[in-house]
Amino acid sequence: FKSVTFEDSLFKNCVFEDITSLNTYFRNCTFVNTTFYNTDLEPYKFVDSKLINCTFFHIRTGCQISFDDDYSAYWIYFVNFLGTLAVLPGNIVSALLMDRIGRLTMLG
């Protein structure tokens, strides 16, 4: 699940298995006879929800990688472009020095 909010929902006799959720919340939901297996659904994601006869097995914890909605490929390419642009003056200077003092001397 990515950025899903369930509100006023009833989950009865459900099995949540191998679920990774980013910014997913359950608000005012009711869970009856529900099993959570190998998920990262932690208690803070259940806002004002009722858990009746529910079991949790192998809860995943730790840092989950998340990319916000405003984190797009544009920024990845833009930062890469700025890094390449920062190297440009050094490349120009080394090319001029190579022509002036010679390739073998520059290599040495």
Residue pLDDT, tens place only, 11-31: 999 999 988 888 889 999 999
Instruction: Give the number of other CB atoms < 10 A from CB of residue 36.
Output: 20
The residue with greater pLDDT, 66 or 48, is 48
Q: How confident is the prediction for the chain on average, in pLDDT?
A: 86
Question: Scanning the structure block, which residue is given the tokens 């020095």?
Answer: 97
Strands of the chain, DSSP E: 5-7, 10-12, 15-17, 25-27, 30-32, 35-37, 46-47, 50-52, 55-57
User: Does 67 have pLDDT greater than 70?
Assistant: no
Alpha-carbon span 42 to 56, nearest angstrom: 10
Name the DSSP letter for residue 45. Answer: G
Instruction: Give the number of other CB atoms < 10 A from CB of residue 31.
Output: 22
pLDDT band at 3 (very low <50, low <70, confident <90, very high): confident
pLDDT band at 88 (very low <50, low <70, confident <90, very high): very high
* β-strand pairing of 30-32 with 50-52: parallel
Note the pLDDT of residue 60. Answer: 79
Please state the pTM of the whole predicted model: 0.57
